[in-house]
Amino acid sequence: MTSQNNIFLDALSRENTKENIPVWLLRQAGRYLPEYMEIRSQYPDFFDMIRKPDICKELTLQPLRRYPLDAAITFTDILTIPDAMGVPVKFIKGKGPIFSDSIIKNPGLELKSQGAIKKLDYVFEATKLIKADINVPLIGFTGSPWTLFVYLFYGESPKNRNEIHDYLKLNSSKTHSYLKAMTEVMHDYVHEQIQSGANCIQIFDSWGGMLGREYEEFSLMYINELAENIPGNIPVILFTRGKKIDSIIESTNIKCFNLDISDNIDHHIDKSIVIQGNFDPSKFHSDADKLEQLATQIFEKYKNKNNYIFNLGSGLTPDIDPEKVGIFLEKLSSLSS
């Protein structure tokens, strides 16, 4: 199906001339939706579920059926890359992702690049199925090399962050070897998503905020390398959680940024970049009147900005009522021309 609603792509090109704010949401498909949980309950292992392209298509389409959204994002996970490179991961209830091995336990941990892309065929097949059944642009994505390294280092979500900083000081060369290996696989991973129908790519640097002065060396350098190998007609969006983009925009050619909750849209909206994000999803706990008021305020403030996309500063969480999200989005949509 050919995309008919392109205001999201227009905004990514800083060319949205309509009084119409493009909208999509971080984790717009997921645990806050009862229809998602119904399917999730049938799969004890998360990766068993996402390896089924028809299921990924269904999960991707669920929020589009509920809400007036202007983009879809392929339902998969950033941890597909290390899983395909020989370090299996399981999602344990109450603990999150748990890897079969880690650098902190096994300093000789090896990543296997050969054959990794073939193991990710399920992502590309899901992308094709989704693309054939939507009338909005499709977002493909990847985690940043640094973010995946953090998970590989700890074998789970990080807790004692001093350990990884100590490792970087003593093992800079080894760290770069891991980052390079994952970046090389990501080149093909992103390319195959685009070939399968993705209209843009979002890079999730979820643990970028763990780095201070080392950010450019261990994270942004590899993000830039990845972005520079993406065709020029495919927009790239960078979301670095825990960092304000002031420290990034002068060191990258990426021009589209998803803002963290802590950042301020108004500091950046008049720059020659694209802004999405920074809305705090906890605001969806507000009552209906407040939600409609917030939607009206956002519309009036940004309706004439050709480079603005409404999104969140962090993903939707399971405690959020989908009906509240619907109230907000329906109001925002009703104000559009």
Instruction: Just list the catalytic residues.
Output: 27, 31, 40, 77, 151
Round to whole Å and give the CA distance between 175 and 178: 5
Return the closest-CA partner of residue 202 out of 118, 276, 129, 278: 276
* C-alpha torsion sign, points 317, 244, 235, 150: negative
* C-alpha torsion sign, points 12, 59, 63, 131: positive
Return the closest-CA partner of residue 33 out of 71, 57, 66, 55: 66
Which DSSP letter does residue 185 get? H
- Three-point CA angle 142, 143, 146, nearest 5°: 145
| φ and ψ at residue 36, rounded to 5 degrees | -65, -50
104-109 long-range Cβ contacts below 8 angstroms, 24+ apart: 104/153, 104/154, 104/155, 104/163, 104/167, 105/155, 109/152
Tokens standing for residue 253: 């050619």
Task: For the chain, give the number of residues.
Answer: 337
Region of residue 240 (left: phi > 0; alpha: psi -120 to 50; beta: else) = beta
Which DSSP letter does residue 260 get? P
Round to whole Å and give the CA distance between 57 and 43: 16
